[in-house]
Chain A
Amino acid sequence: NAGVTQTPKFQVLKTGQSMTLQCAQDMNHNSMYWYRQDPGMGLRLIYYSASEGTTDKGEVPNGYNVSRLNKREFSLRLESAAPSQTSVYFCAATRDPLGGYTFGSGTRLTVV
């Protein structure tokens, strides 16, 4: 039982390149989330999805798009990467939106 799986674990991009971060969960949870973590800061919410077919903006959505492909998968896309998007990205899922959350192991992204 893997829980929440993120790929890739590490990525280096050049400014202007695009890429998609993948997240999949095997817990049959409805709600999924993307966060970013910058040095010395807590995690900040980028986008979230209450259920398949719905997405909402979080605190820092600019420069990102998301797709809730199905109940298991929630992807985060950077269309034109910028150095300010260098960060560690975490995906999370929860069965009960007002309950406990499970996080993936993170994707460390560097934009040069």
Chain B
Amino acid sequence: GIQVEQSPPDLILQEGANSTLRCNFSDSVNNLQWFHQNPWGQLINLFYIPSGTKQNGRLSATTVATERYSLLYISSSQTTDSGVYFCAVIVQGGSGNTGKLIFGQGTTLQVKP
């Protein structure tokens, strides 16, 4: 099956720093989604981005589907950005008109004050 690899696995930043998280995938995908899992375990959708670039405040994401990677940019990081960032690709499912999410193992981000 498709493989989703995220890097780096861990990242420690000082508040105010910028960072780039990377997601590589091994095969063509229908779509891609970035999530933030906060310290309470809640999964929050950040971007739904099959291709191109999207921005939401201090966060932006770029997906280059032809080269099978996506990048998540965090600028001017804040302590509330801490948590785990997951990339998940959407592939065709089994029965019916459905798909399924395949997750990478995540990047754990710690932002220090």
Residues of A that sit less than 8 Å from B by CB: 30-31, 33, 35, 40-45, 48, 50-51, 54, 56-59, 88, 90, 92, 94, 97-103, 105-106, 108
Interface centre among A44, A57, A90, A101 (most CB of B within 10 A): A101
- Assembled-state Cα–Cα distance A53/B16 (Å): 50
Total of A-B residue pairs, C-beta within 8 Å: 82
CA distance A49 to B72 in the complex (A): 30
Supply 6 A–B pairs (Cβ within 8 Å), ascending by A.
A48-B93, A51-B96, A98-B31, A99-B90, A100-B48, A102-B45
CA of A88 to CA of B42, assembled, Å: 11
B86 proximity list for chain A (CB < 8 A) = 42-43
Q: Is there contact, CB below 8 Å, between A98 and B99?
A: yes
Q: Chain B interface secondary structure, helix, strand, loop or mixed?
A: strand
Taking A92-B101, A97-B97 as known contacts, 9 extra A-B pairs with beta carbons closer than 8 A to each other, sorted by chain A number, are A33-B100, A41-B106, A42-B104, A48-B93, A51-B96, A94-B99, A99-B48, A101-B101, A103-B45
| B94-A97 in contact (CB<8A) | no
- Chain A residue, CB-CB nearest to B99: A97
- Which of under 10, 10 to 19, 20 to 34, or 35 or more describes the interface residues of B? 20 to 34
Among B43, B92, B100, B105, the residue within 8 A (CB) of A90 is: B43
Contact check, B93 vs A50: say whether CB atoms are below 8 A apart: yes
- Give the residues in chain B near A35, CB-CB below 8 Å: 101, 103
- B96 contact from A40, A54, A108, Cβ within 8 A: A54
In Å, the complex CA distance between A97 and B98 comes to 5
- A48 and B98 contact, CB distance less than 8 A: yes
Residues in A whose Cβ lies below 8 Å from that of B42: 103, 105-106
Could you tell me if B101 and A31 are in contact, using CB atoms closer than 8 angstroms? no
